[in-house]
A and B are shown apart, each in its own frame.
Chain A
Amino acid sequence: MITARINQIEVQVPEGTSILDAARRVQVKIPTLCKHKDLLATAACGICIVRNKGGNKLIRACCTPLENGMEITTHDREIVDVRRSTLELILSNHPQACLTCGRNGECELQSLAADFNIPMESIKRYVKDVPADCSTGSIILDFVKCIKCGRCIQVCQEGQNVWALSFLDRGINTRMAPAGDITLAESPCVKCGQCSAHCPTGAIVENDETPAVWEALHDKEKICVVQIAPSVRVTVGEAFGLPPGTNLTKKIYAALRRLGFHAVFDTNFSADVTIVEEASEFIERFVHKRGPLPLITSCCPSWTDFMEKRHYDFIDNFSTAKSPQQMLGVLAKTYYAEKLKLDPAKIFMVSIMPCTAKKYELSRTEEMFASGYKDVDVALTTRELARMLKQSGIDFLNLADAEPDSILGDYTGAGTIFGATGGVMEAALRTAYFYATGKKLAKVEVEAVRGLDGVKEGVIDVAGTKVRVAVAHGLANVETVLDRVREARKRGEEAPYHFIEVMACPGGCIGGGGQPYGVDNERRKLRIAGIYQDDRDRTLRHSHENPEVIKLYDEFLGKPLGSKAHELLHTRYTARPLYKR
């Protein structure tokens, strides 16, 4: 333990604790702009400087560990002056287009500037005009708003192992961009949007597609339908001041209907369909030995993209089942349209997703047009939904609860846990166990695959056979798991796992790149708790028990993995080049 004093207050912290964290423990807030709780200090902004008694330099609180006997002063005249000057310098290099910025009201730079009460600009503004990179259609890099904190780069390189972003050029011209000054779409970017989730300003934002949705809603010719993803229900409340994890499912249904959607569906329904298909696939491969093992989940589009670019030797291991978003899209324009005798050409499907990559998934391959139309027309992120709700004049939090629309709305607890890391695996195991044994798991909760460890492993006994599973989230953790499989392959041994789940974002979809800002592990835990609570609250907790799913197969699809299911609910993968230029 380290004992020291911060502003005369004695503090005891474990060795290696930064001055910044140590100060928090004694209710001292040291301002910082670049440090994110989730990430290592990049030491870029220079705002968190403090003084150690006897030292002639000011030191950075974010990256300096507290040492025994230190006497730290966090605020004195000089320190505050230097912080103000530094902040003024940062502002002098920022467009200050706050009122028209996507981060207005949620920007860390804006709130720091407000805290420091900077009265006027004494340093002439210099902002170099660099056009934004909108090439991906998912994420927009608005270089001029970047304060070069380096968070996005750390997340992209170390957190996600994607290496799409890096620093280019130097000095005042420094910027974050793909190496070689190519566009993001030409880079290895997988559109996970973790960069945007960690950006303190409006420099990296989701591609805002709310205008297209408003347009469709106002179009009398269109039949607008909508689906909400599992995790959105426990996160959207944060944008309205509610604690993370607050489940607002039924208020979201009500609000979406008020926005003008003809029908409100739940992606949890199609998550159940996904499980039926995927569990069947697993049984095919595991019990009937038809197809290679391990089976790897594919409902995360960033992961799919990453796999196609970097791990295409695993293409045959990928579940061909589409993601719930795409399944619901195609079912709405076929099954639902047929049932209600609607013209599928007029149906406009909007999905509310926690994710920026879902925008990319909409046109990933030709299978995403299986209905004959674009199965899902627009994917919005949670943040975009929150903005739409705020614009709509709806008193969201005080709405009366509502139910989803039938035939694509009912869901089980297995569908809802898709929103948390390990959830797809757990849901699939529940159903696969049933398919293999005709019985349900003694304990529905598969604890081994829950939690925030980057790689989770477990063994589940299925009728006397051990099923070895692994769950990875955060793309940097994928390699660990896949390399173990590769090594076994090289040695000619059986794969160490039968079933692998991967989610690109840390924590799974609840930590997605399109979720409300300010994510860290504390928040992730609360959001996950909200998801599991929803699961516990459901009477039905196995996907194959979903009555609407049963009906779907009876009336429309036939058998899981049958020809119609294959035609509508499955996709293909191809190796793609890492760089397109």
Chain B
Amino acid sequence: MKTLTRQDLADLARHPAAEPAAWIRVQLDTGGIAAGAETLYTALDHARVEQRLPFVLQRAGSTGFAFADPVIAVKSAGLPTVHYGHVTAELVPQLLAAHFGQRHLLDDHIIATRRRSLVLDAPVTHILVRDTGNGPGSKTEFFQFSFQEELKRRGLGDRVQVVRAFDMGVYDEGAVVQLLPSAVTYTNVLAPDVARIVTESIEGGRVLDDLLWKTPDRQVRIVLRHCGEVDPDSADDYLRRAQGYQAFAKALFALTPEQVIAEMKTSALRGRGGAGFPTWMKWQLTRAQPASQRYVICNGDEGDPGAFMDRSVLESDPHAVLEGMMIAAYAMGTSKGYFYIRAEYPRAVERVQRALDQARELGLLGQNILGSGFDFEAKIRLGAGAFVCGEETALIASIEGKRGSPSPRPPYPSVRGLWGMPTAINNVETLAIVPEILLKGGAWFASHGTDTSKGTKVFAVTGKVRNAQLVEVPMGTTLRQIVFEVCGGVLDNKEIKAVQTGGPSGGVIPTSLLDTPVSYETLQQLGSIMGSGGMLIMDKGDSMVEVAKFYLKFCVDESCGKCAPCRIGGYQLLQILDRISRGRGNAGDLAIIHRICHAMQKASLCGLGQTAPNPVLSTLRYFGEEYQAFIEGGPSYARKVSGAAKAAKAPAPATSQEVSS
């Protein structure tokens, strides 16, 4: 690779890469690969070579459709660009034949675009249909047939193809129809509407207002802007197709460090690791410390059960995180950075390492970068699997080669951090946002979200949810919207009981509060936290005592053991919960639970211990009657009261493998 110059970057900005006429992108993140994406990739490649098919095969990260892994995106001549889910290697011949032979879209695998138009701005070429109703028997095939018949009758059978979709992104709205390429979407379509749609919309080009789905897509993709689009292994792809390193160049040549921090201040971006500390302030404080060396660290020690936001971003868009770190480094006057990534994320580690190597070859890391006089170098440190190492001071100890246990603050890392030097630790998601803020402006970012929580947040939604996936929504989106509108509601159409946010440090939020807009403050008021973005859905069959036990056990296992309230308090709390859940609780237990929780919250040294009681306290707060039932009548009585299923186990938060298989 040739070293980049400032001029090269300017040229790249003016001439973005030309899109090939046909391509297939395979989403090769950990979830996809676990579901067979590598095999799929090979099969596609073989077929391409053997049949001399005119498409470019590309590697990509994940769009976030974990429920449909392996996922691919396909563009071919004359057909709209679509995502397919659950694509196996066996499906390849059929898929290629459809796209490059009959020039048809494939039935039953399409994940419809979430972009929904209100106007028909192009002649309809394809109709996607799917029955999203809960009634017995799917009417998808009926509607496909009806449309085909109607089209034939009107002589449009050759011009418009009717395709059965796999997922419409709209749920429980009866038969849903999407007209491509414009993406006008109709819901609750009944049999008599078929003829109307064909004559009015397809022939007449008019939108049928009574059927039109006007709810916009809740998702706004800022963090995930390139995920599933660019090749995470290719700096070239990032440079040509994702405005790669343009924000860094802008910072370097057009902005002073103070201006970068000012832009961050305008954006009001708060740390996405969970605590929500203003990012600009962290940078400012670190910058203000007189020191011979400062450090910037990317915290990729994601450890919440069920959370896979950071992993996805690192695997899908490593260069964006690196670029964010480089901008942070420039703003703080730092020449050294560390990626602290847990060793359980080998693919993320591999891709970040490749990104670092490529950036070094391109001259984007090293001395006198792009002739600016700015020096920066970054390397990876592996986390050995302790959850507490996500805590800043423990993370620093771990990088220094010490036992990963937290130390008292002050001094804060921004004053005395790694190797005793001022250090800023930013979460993966935070850093991934930074380049976009510099390119589009802080004010643009701040235009999303609520008064106190700006921008968007990525959540990994798992548990008893129909479509477990990665979602990115503006702050202020309600829990109900996330669960029902974006993720399709509860699995098997069961009744929702609660949403758990914030991982083991968070709490449960009952159904009655599902209309709470998500922000740092609101979740805290409800006794939960934003956390890094894990979101677990529970249905009526889940016992809340078991849920509390599950999360508490996690924290008890992960307690570093340094301070007494967390080390002993967590353990004793778990013993009491265990006793209660076996029907051996007594009337005094709840008072002791409260007392231990209080001591842990107030006297634990770090966030892990201070927040470990949250799952217990919030379940007690909203589902106290379940505890009472266990104490008064034992497990079977409690199940009757709560409606929990017989094997009352906490919903295991899906790991990526489970999500995707």
Contacts and interface: CB of A to CB of B under 8 A. Distances in A.
Interface of A: 41-47, 49, 57-58, 60, 63-65, 78, 81-83, 85-86, 89-90, 92-93, 122-124, 126, 147-148, 150, 166-167, 169-174
Interface string B268-308: 00000000000000000000000000000000000000000
Nearest to B574: A172
Interface stretch (B114-122, B525-533, B596-604, B623-631): B596-604
Contact of A60 (B405, B567, B575, B605): B605
Contact of A148 (B567, B572, B599): B567
A174 B598 contact: no
B403 A85 contact: no
Contacts of A65: 410
A123 B588 CA distance: 11
Contacts of B565: 46, 86, 89
A123 B572 CA distance: 8
B567 to A, nearest CB: 6
A44 B410 CA distance: 15
Interface in B400-415: 403, 405, 407-408, 410
Given A148-B564, A169-B561, A89 B569 contact: yes
B557 interface: yes
Lowest 8 CB-CB distances: which A-B pairs, in order? A174-B561, A46-B603, A85-B599, A63-B408, A172-B571, A43-B408, A171-B559, A89-B568
Greatest chain A CB density within 10 A among B408, B563, B568, B595 is at B568
B645 interface: no
Contact of A92 (B403, B572, B604): B572
Given A63-B408, A64-B408, A171-B557, A57 B563 contact: no
Contacts of A124: 572, 575
Nearest to B559: A171
B98 interface: no
A124 B407 CA distance: 29
Contacts of B403: 166-167
B560 A174 contact: yes
B560 A170 contact: yes
Given A64-B410, A90-B568, A78 B558 contact: no
B602 A172 contact: no
A126 B596 CA distance: 15
B567 A82 contact: no
Contacts of B564: 44-46, 86, 89-90, 93, 147-148
B224 to A, nearest CB: 34
Contacts of A83: 603
Contacts of B561: 148, 167, 169-174
Contacts of B562: 42-44, 148, 150, 167, 174
A42 B592 CA distance: 28
Contacts of B408: 41, 43, 60, 63-64
A60 B604 CA distance: 9
Contact of A49 (B559, B560, B572, B603): B603
Nearest to B561: A174
A59 B193 CA distance: 67
Greatest chain A CB density within 10 A among B410, B567, B595 is at B567
B524 to A, nearest CB: 11
A65 B408 CA distance: 11
A171 B558 contact: yes
A78 B405 CA distance: 27
B602 A82 contact: yes
B567 A171 contact: yes
A572 to B, nearest CB: 37
Nearest to B411: A65
A35 B386 CA distance: 26
A31 to B, nearest CB: 12
A172 B605 contact: no
A126 B575 contact: yes
Given A60-B605, A85-B599, A92-B572, A172 B556 contact: yes
A470 to B, nearest CB: 28
B570 interface: yes
Interface in B530-579: 556-565, 567-572, 575
Given A92-B572, A171-B571, 20 more contacts: A43-B408, A43-B563, A43-B605, A44-B562, A45-B564, A46-B599, A60-B605, A82-B598, A85-B603, A93-B571, A167-B562, A170-B559, A171-B556, A171-B558, A171-B560, A171-B561, A172-B556, A172-B561, A172-B567, A172-B571
Contact of A86 (B556, B558, B599): B599
Interface string B450-490: 00000000000000000000000000000000000000000
Nearest to A67: B410
B250 to A, nearest CB: 39
A43 B562 CA distance: 8
Contacts of A60: 408, 605
Nearest to A124: B575
A513 to B, nearest CB: 24
Contacts of A46: 563-565, 599, 603-605
A539 B603 CA distance: 58
Contacts of A122: 588, 592
Greatest chain B CB density within 10 A among A41, A57, A123 is at A123
B603 A82 contact: yes
A167 to B, nearest CB: 6
Contacts of B588: 122
Contacts of B596: 85, 89, 123
Nearest to A41: B408
Given A60-B605, A174-B561, A89 B410 contact: no
B182 to A, nearest CB: 52
Contacts of A92: 568, 572
Contacts of B602: 49, 57-58, 78, 82
Contacts of A93: 564, 567-568, 571
18 contacts: A43-B407, A46-B599, A60-B408, A81-B598, A85-B595, A85-B599, A86-B569, A86-B603, A89-B564, A89-B568, A93-B564, A122-B592, A123-B596, A124-B575, A148-B567, A170-B386, A170-B558, A172-B571
A83 B596 CA distance: 11
Nearest to B403: A167
A123 B603 contact: no
Contacts of B405: 167
Contacts of B559: 170-172
A556 B287 CA distance: 75
Greatest chain A CB density within 10 A among B562, B575, B592 is at B562
A166 B561 CA distance: 13
Interface string B91-135: 000000000000000000000000000000000000000000000
Contacts of B575: 124, 126
A41 B407 CA distance: 10
Contacts of B386: 170
A82 B609 CA distance: 14
A174 B388 CA distance: 14
A65 B599 CA distance: 22
Interface in B586-638: 588, 592, 595-596, 598-599, 602-605, 610
B563 A44 contact: yes
A147 B563 CA distance: 9
Nearest to A45: B564
B567 A174 contact: yes
A166 B592 CA distance: 33
Contacts of A90: 564, 568
A57 B408 CA distance: 13
Interface string B403-439: 1010110100000000000000000000000000000
B412 to A, nearest CB: 12
Contacts of B567: 93, 148, 171-172, 174
A308 to B, nearest CB: 27
A89 B560 contact: no
A89 B596 CA distance: 8
A324 to B, nearest CB: 40
Given A64-B410, A166-B403, A171 B570 contact: yes
